[in-house]
Amino acid sequence: MNKVYLDYQSSTPVLPEVLEAMLPWFRDYYGNASALHELGIRSKKALTRAREQFATAIHAAEPEEIIFTSCGTEANNLGVKGSAYALQSKGKHIILSTAEHPSVENSVAFLEKQGFTATRVPVDRQGRIDPAAIEAAITPETILIATHYANHDIGTIQPIELIGEIAERHKIQFFVDAAFSAGWLPIDVTRLRTGLISLSPHRFYGPKGVGVLYKNRKARLLSIISGGIQEGNRRSGTENVPAIVGAGLAMEIAETEREKRVAHVSALQKRLWEGLSAHIPYICLNGPLPGDGRHPCNLNISTEFIEGEGQLLLCNAAGIAVASGSSCSSKNLKASPVLSAIGQALTLMQGNLIFSLGKDNTEEEIDYVISSFTKIVERLRGMSPVWDAFQKGQVQSVIAPAK
Amino acid sequence: MAEEYSLYNPTVMDHFLNPRNMGDLEDADGIGEVGAAACGDIMKISLKIGNDGRISDARFKTFGCGSAIASSSMATELVKGKTIEEAMQLSNKNVVDALGGLPPVKIHCSVLAEEAIKAALDDYLKRHPEMAARVAAAKAQKQPNE
């Protein structure tokens, strides 16, 4: 086995046909989409085509409801901050969950420093948001409910439709971070009743450097970047035409192939979890079991008595690309906030590893990962003083405590 | 290629992938354990120390990231053959330098290695008051000259 990439949630390769479609827009058709000459109008038409591709994929009423940004993080910043600024005359209270992506959580934290207030609704042990808790947090001051569709860390799929109903009933603007869901989970903005939803094309075989924010006509939004009147005055700055063209095509293909891709990765996700849990004692899954409640690509596990960065490095040495939420793997030395939000034990937060699957992974690859990872765990446990202490009965397992 | 695309430099990677002195010592003369699993690192150092006050063997066991494992591996290498007095002088900087550098956020791993060595030496000196007295006397004699 040569290389196994299991970090598709952090990024995917660009499809060959998507890259082909992008190339002329670098090379031949380089006009600024705001320009009034032939090359400019060509670019503008290309943007319109991509807008239509996204609108069709998510059942938006009109292509003009699609706003292009530079990435998913910018789309989330625009969705959260842009809503807050547009609605601040009505109130200053925002509701979100404790398990949001940093681009949502930190946008709200930024707004709090400017006088906005926020209620962070807790998630349960599986990472699920209780819609009733969202409703209970609503005050007359509430202007925005901001939450995610599928969790970026542990894959939990949220009851978005139910939260959307609540938002609609209370006439509160509803922003959904679907950066980890688009391309994999069905998005129908009419059913989700969301005013705003963000998408990230490089997670479904589109290019990096482009993000998407859907904005329902009724949703209020203020631009957070000052400049020209691009994107209907919602996002200033010259549009990245090649990336947007690629993103539109990637979205179209993702929708066409979605069921096939999902069936494929779901089977591998189940195979991987069943293989790992059969071969390795004292490991646990973070988030719901593979099935309807979990993003089909994501498998987030904690292995007891060993630390995550060491696991990641040994996986890398075995040619396996994965991610970890342990504090040692993060630049700020803080363990995953989502694992903290679900109340995971501190030691299990350290033993964390995230596998994320893509459409091109194979059963052979998964079997190689299962056998390699089993050896990696044995090796690291052989070095671990905590494993020693457990063997001698000096410490208990958190996953399987003795009676 | 391994150098260009790995998280740590080749020396650190070598000590992580091929750790020196990993394990425990039967009848260790001094054992030091520092850190907490909740914070991400635990290091345990075991030392064998002869009647001449020289470290004849050192072993480590570590729960932690790549640089924690590499730091403990290197620290055991650095103290083997040293006298207690010399090993007491081991600083985290010695460990970092011997490893050819660590990323800034990982310097604490080398600090933990220094602390684990010192904890193991302290454990030994507690068990051997006669040696503790000798070390203290030598230190007192040396200090006025400094």
**Mean pLDDT, rounded, for B126-140:** 89
Residue among A305, A310, A385 whose CB faces B66 most closely:
A310
Q: How far apart are CA A142 and CA A172, in angstroms?
A: 7
What's the pLDDT score for residue A299? 98
What's the pLDDT score for residue A372? 98
pLDDT tens-digit map of A346-389:
999 999 999 999 999 999 999 999 999 999 999 999 999 999 99
**Mean pLDDT, rounded, for A41-58:** 98
Contacts of B16 in chain A (CB under 8 A): 310, 313
What's the pLDDT score for residue B77? 98
Q: Select the residue from B65, B109, B111, B112 to test the A interface by mutation, using most A Cβ atoms within 10 A.
A: B65
CATH homologous superfamily of A4-9+258-385 equals Aspartate Aminotransferase, domain 1 (3.90.1150.10)
Could you give the percent of chain A with pLDDT greater than 70?
100
Contacts of B6 in chain A (CB under 8 A): 316
Mean pLDDT of chain A: 96
Residue B38 has pLDDT above 80, yes or no: no
Catalytically active residues of B, by annotation:
39, 109
What's the pLDDT score for residue B37? 78
Amino acid at A231: E
Contact A101, A148 (CB under 8 A): yes
Dig out the tokens for B8 from the structure: 């740590």
Mean pLDDT of chain B: 92
Q: How far apart are CA A275 and CA A194, in angstroms?
A: 38
**Mean pLDDT, rounded, for A294-308:** 97
Residue B146 has pLDDT above 60, yes or no: no
User: Taking CB atoms and an 8 Å limit, are A388 and B39 in contact across chains?
Assistant: no
Q: Are strands A142-148 and A320-321 parallel, antiparallel or unpaired?
A: unpaired
> C-alpha distances in angstroms, A227 versus A34, A78, A167, A222, A223?
13, 15, 32, 13, 9
What's the pLDDT score for residue A140? 98
What's the pLDDT score for residue B6? 84
* Shortest distance, CA B73 to any CA of chain A (angstroms): 11
Residue A326 has pLDDT above 80, yes or no: yes
Could you give the percent of chain A with pLDDT greater than 90?
95
Contacts of A350 in chain B (CB under 8 A): 37-38, 40
User: Taking CB atoms and an 8 Å limit, are B69 and A310 in contact across chains?
Assistant: yes
Contacts of A331 in chain B (CB under 8 A): 105
A71, A284, A297, A328: the active-site residue: A328
User: Any idea where the domains of chain A sit in the sequence?
Assistant: 4-9+258-385, 16-254
Residue B1 has pLDDT above 70, yes or no: no
Written out in words, the top-level CATH class of the domain with range B2-142 is: alpha beta
Q: Which residue intervals of chain B are DSSP H helices?
A: 10-17, 66-79, 84-88, 92-98, 107-127, 129-142
User: Any idea where the domains of chain B sit in the sequence?
Assistant: 2-142
Choose the weakest-confidence range: A158-162, A242-246, B127-131: B127-131
What's the pLDDT score for residue B144? 63
pLDDT tens-digit map of A93-133:
999 999 999 999 999 999 999 999 999 999 999 999 999 99
In this prediction the ipTM stands at 0.92
What's the pLDDT score for residue B145? 55
pTM (global) more than 0.90: yes
What's the pLDDT score for residue B2? 46
Q: How far apart are CA B144 and CA A141, in angstroms?
A: 71
Q: How far apart are CA B55 and CA B125, in angstroms?
A: 13
Q: Please, what is the end-to-end C-alpha distance for chain A in angstroms?
A: 42
**Mean pLDDT, rounded, for A18-33:** 98
Q: Check: CATH 3.40.50.1580 for A16-254?
A: no
User: Taking CB atoms and an 8 Å limit, are A386 and B42 in contact across chains?
Assistant: yes
> C-alpha distances in angstroms, B3 versus A3, A47, A364, B67?
18, 42, 29, 15
Residue A91 has pLDDT above 70, yes or no: yes
Contact A175, A144 (CB under 8 A): yes
What's the pLDDT score for residue A1? 67
